[in-house]
Amino acid sequence: MPAQHLNALSLILPNTRFITDKSDMAVFCIDQRARFQADAWAVLQPSTVSDVQALMRYCFHENIPVTPQGGNTGLCGGATPHARLGGKGFIVSLSRLNALRELNLADNAITVEAGMVLAQVQAIAQKAERFFPLSLASEGSCQIGGNIACNAGGLNVVRYGTMRDLVLGLETVLPSGELVSHLQPLHKNTTGYAWQQQITGSEGTLGIITAATLKLFAPPRSVLTAWAGIDNIQAALSLLAAVKNYFAERLSSFEIISNDALQLSAGYSRLNPPVSAVWHVLMEISDSLPCVSNHQEQLFEVLSDADCFNAVIAQSEQERQNLWKLRENISAAQRNLGASIKHDISLPIAAVADFIAECQPIIQQAYPHANIVVFGHLGDGSLHYNVFLPEVLGNDVYRFEEHINILVYECVLKHSGSIAAEHGIGQIKNHWLPRVRTAEEIAWMRSQKHFFDPNNIMNPGKLLPSETDV
C-alpha cells in the first residue's frame, strides 16, 4: 500500500483496525468456495459510523476502490475484490460495527449495526419474546449488512418474505462519505421513492450499510414439522397447494429435497432418512398460539386427502431438529463430492416440475457422468441446482462453469425464471444481467450508480455488467 495512504488514514481513523500483513489478510481476500481470490492494500475494520464516513471521504477524494465485506459467506464473489483492480484498494470489514442500537417492542422492531451476526439478532429477539424470521445455513457467521446487501431469503420466505420485506429503515454511508440515516420504525411512509428498497439488494455498489431497523414478529408457540416422501415434483406442487390452502399464513417453510441430496446429508449427519422416496418435502407450520395438537390432526387430514401416506410428523423437539439437520447439512455434505457448479435460481412455482424434467437430460447429454444435487425452497420457487463432475477434481471444475451455466440458465429463462434468487449477482453472474433485465432497466441502474458513485469506487466489477457485455 502506498505509504501516504496508510499515514493519512492512520491519522483520521483512530478507532479503525488496520490489517496489512498478507497472511492475516488472506481470509478476507478469498471467498467461501475459494472460487474468487484477489489482493488488496489492506483490510480496514472501523468500529464507528464516523470512521466509515471519514474513510469514504478519503477514498472518494483519492479515487481508491472499496470492497465492503460482512461475514464473507457469499457464493457469488460479491465481497471479494475484483481481480482486475490488481490489488489496489481496501476491503472494509464491518465486523466491529456490531452494536444493538435499540429494541422497540411497541413497533416490533430492532435496530442493529451492520456487522451484527444474524444468529445474534435472532437471540436478542428470542430473549425479548419476539422472533426474527430470517434463517440461513450460515446464520452463525453471516452479518446483517451482507444479508441486506444481497436481499437474503432463506427458509421462511414463504411466510415472512425476503430481507427486503423485513427492513423498516436503513443507515448508509455514501461513497462521498455523506450519511443517509432513516432508522425510524415507520410501518407506513409514502414520501417518494423508497430509499431502503434501492439499497437492499444493491450488493455494496451504492454505499456501505452501517445499521438497519428490522421487523420482529410474535414468536411461534406451536410448531409442527413434517417430512413427506413423494414420487415426483408435480405431487409436491399439489401437496404445497393443499397445505397452503388449508393452513394459509401458518405455513412458514416448504422445502424440496432430491433423494441424492438426502442420502448425502444422511451420511454426513449420521441420521437415517425419515422415509424412502424419489423426492422429499420438509414442511413447517407454526402459530403464535399453542394449538399444535389440533394442527397435527388437520395436517394428517391434508396429507391423506393428497394421497400422501409416506410421511412422518415430528413428535418431539429432538425429532424436529433431526429433520432440519438433514435439510441444513446438505450444503456441507456436498463437499464430499468436491467442487460444484452452483446455481441459485428461482422459477414460477408452477414451472418447477417442467424445469427439472427438462434441464437434467440437457446437462447429462453434454456431461454424461454429471451428478445433479437439487434442493431448495419450493414454497417460494427457488432452487439450489448444483452440478458435480466426478471425473474433475477440485476447482478445475470451474473451467466448465460457463458452459454448464449456459445450459442451466437458458432452461431457467425458457421457463420465465431468474438466474439469481437469494445469493445475488456479484462478479460471477453480472455478464448475464442483460438477459434478465432490459436495456432500459440497466441504463437506470447505471444512472443510479453514476449519481452516487461517479468514480466507481464502490465494489467495482460487481452486479452491473461491463460495457462490453451489454
- Written as one string, the DSSP assignment of 155-207 is TTHHHH--HHHHEEEEEEE-TTS-EEEE----S---SSS-HHHHHTTSTTSS-
Residue 420 grid coordinates? 439469481
Signed CA dihedral, 111, 116, 122, 128: sign only: negative
Residue 249 grid coordinates? 399464513
Rounded CA-CA distance 177/356 in Å is 47
* Secondary structure of residue 185 in the 3-state scheme: coil
Contact present, 418 and 412 (Cβ < 8 Å): yes
Rounded CA-CA distance 121/184 in Å is 18
Q: Check residue 130 and report its DSSP letter.
A: -
Please state whether beta strands 371-377 and 382-388 pair in parallel, antiparallel, or not at all (unpaired).
antiparallel
Report the chain's C-alpha Rg in angstroms.
Answer: 23
Rounded CA-CA distance 338/390 in Å is 8
Q: Identify residue 75 by its one-letter amino acid code.
A: L
| Residue for grid cell 434463517 | 135
Q: What order do you get walking across the sheet with 90-93 strand by strand?
A: 17-19, 42-45, 90-93, 66-69
Signed CA dihedral, 243, 249, 250, 255: sign only: positive
Q: Check residue 27 and report its DSSP letter.
A: G
For 117, phi then psi, to 5°, come to: -70, 140
For 62, phi then psi, to 5°, come to: -95, 0
Q: Where are the alpha helices (DSSP H) in 335-464?
A: 352-366, 401-414, 433-436, 439-452
Of 349, 357, 238, 387, nearest to 303 by C-alpha is: 238
Rounded CA-CA distance 338/396 in Å is 10
DSSP string, 225-289: EEEEEESSHHHHHHHHHHHHHHHGGGEEEEEEEEHHHHHHHHHHHT---SS--SEEEEEEEEESS
Rounded CA-CA distance 279/178 in Å is 51
Residue 165 grid coordinates? 420485506
For 225, phi then psi, to 5°, come to: -120, 130
Measured CA distances, 342 to 35, 216, 292, 345, 423 (Å) = 11, 32, 37, 9, 11
pLDDT in tens, the chain (470 residues): 788 998 899 899 988 999 999 999 999 999 988 999 999 999 999 999 999 999 999 999 999 999 999 999 999 999 999 999 999 999 999 999 999 999 999 999 999 999 999 999 999 999 999 999 999 989 999 999 999 999 999 999 999 999 999 999 999 999 999 999 999 999 999 999 988 999 999 999 999 999 999 999 999 999 999 999 999 999 999 999 999 999 999 999 999 999 999 999 999 999 999 999 999 999 999 999 887 667 888 999 999 999 999 999 999 999 999 999 999 999 999 988 889 999 999 999 999 999 999 999 999 999 999 999 999 999 999 999 999 999 997 889 999 999 999 999 999 999 999 999 999 999 999 999 999 999 999 999 999 999 999 999 999 999 999 865 54
